[in-house]
Amino acid sequence: MKDAAFELLKPELDKAPESSLWIADENLLNQLSRVNHNVHVITNRYDLMQQLQQAGWNTVFSDFDFSEIADHSINRIVYRVSKEKPVVHHVINQAIRILKPGGELCIAGLKNEGIKTYLDKAKKLFAGQIELVKSDKNTWMGILQSPGEADTELLEDQRYAELREVAADEHYGYQSKPGVYGWNKIDRGSAYLAEELPRFLDSMTTTPDSILDLGCGYGYLSLQCATLLPNTRITATDNNAGAIRACQANFVQAGIQGEVIADNCAEEISEKYPMVICNPPFHQGFSTDGDLTDRFIASAHRHLQPEGIAAFVTNLHIPLERKAARWFKKIDIVADNGNFKLIRLAQPK
């Protein structure tokens, strides 16, 4: 399905001059354009990086880190707005630094994503130099010319680039940052799974010597497993660059034995584990995507040892049990608290 906002940006991407930059966020999965070798791509999604590289784009996987891009060195930036405000503000702020005087920021989005507010803010920052284009009343693009320096204070991006402690318990402090899903809290579903982890472990015949944390975020569940099983090796994986960065920092700070791997649903990890833990996401870009749950179940099946178990937590309305029946012979609801359910998957088919 085509994205109306990206369709507005495509001509600007196609004709982008040398030293141009495309900022590609999660909402651009499967929204590709013909390759323009004048353009370098930065994306914070590992799966999107793979998709773009396979198509021939020069792509870097990064937490939208522009620190190595020289001041006033870019001719054009093409950006379809992200889901989260701090990310959008961060990109606009960085654009004023790295664009050449007269360079262009082409930014588009939908009305219900706040595009008109973003354009108003960017217009002030860019000294009022803006060309507005819209395909309908809900889809807008602004082309802004850089004055060379910000005309007013930079936008509030909640210190996007910085890790900071967002929560703590008796064992650990948890570092995170904007751009990571649920970045400034302990997810209630993950906390519920952590609380009941002993029930899952009690059902195992031996203590697992390794655990795979699928979709690790900033690493909360990995650290909880390390508390219960200090001698167990933890492998944490996520496809979001900010999550990988935060999880790595938490592993180092906590002295966790294990590794943090950027990957898409652990596709490039070949090892099998006696235990897999997962709080699967079910939002893709700006919408809900039930296929994500299927992909995480399939990955758990692929990475589970024959006698192992997978511990999942999900919202009550997600039909994980039905979806898992294709992959597992044994499926049990371990507990539910009225909002979330904990499911044990075993005996991979």
Q: Read off the tokens for 200.
A: 């899952």
- Residue 31, pLDDT score: 67
pLDDT band of 282, cuts 50, 70, 90: low
For residue 286, pLDDT over 60 is answered with no
User: Same topology for domains 4-145 and 164-348, yes or no?
Assistant: yes
For residue 285, pLDDT over 50 is answered with no
Q: What average pLDDT does the segment 3-8 reach? A: 93
Q: CA-CA distance, 200 to 309, in Å (whole number)?
A: 8
Neighbouring C-alpha atoms within 13 Å toward the C-beta of 348: 19
Q: CA-CA distance, 20 to 39, in Å (whole number)?
A: 5
pLDDT band of 292, cuts 50, 70, 90: confident
Q: What average pLDDT does the segment 97-104 reach? A: 96
Model pTM score: 0.94
Q: What average pLDDT does the segment 233-257 reach? A: 96
Long-range CB pairs of 166-171 (<8 Å, 24+ gap) are: 166/218, 171/223, 171/227, 171/254
| Helices vs strands, H then E, count in the chain | 9, 18
Q: Read off the tokens for 252.
A: 């180092």
Exposed e or buried b for every residue in 114-141, given b needs 16+ CB within 10 A? ebeebbebbbebbbebbeeebeeeebbb
For residue 289, pLDDT over 60 is answered with no
Place of tokens 């900071």: 164
- Residue 26, pLDDT score: 80
- Residue 28, pLDDT score: 77
Residue 310: left if φ>0, alpha if ψ -120 to 50, beta else—which one?
beta
Q: What average pLDDT does the segment 297-319 reach? A: 96
For residue 81, pLDDT over 50 is answered with yes
Sequence ranges of the domains in the chain: 4-145, 164-348
For residue 40, pLDDT over 90 is answered with yes
Q: Which amino acid is at 251?
A: F
What is the second-level CATH architecture of the domain 164-348? 3-Layer(aba) Sandwich (3.40)
User: Is 86 in a helix, a strand, or coil?
Assistant: helix
What is the CATH class of 4-145?
A: alpha beta
Per-residue pLDDT of 322-349, as tens digits, reads 999 999 999 999 999 999 999 999 999 9
Q: Which of 141-145, 182-186, 288-292, 294-298 has the lowest mean pLDDT?
A: 288-292
Strand 20-24 to 273-278 pairing: unpaired
pLDDT band of 71, cuts 50, 70, 90: very high
Contact 91, 23 (CB under 8 A): yes
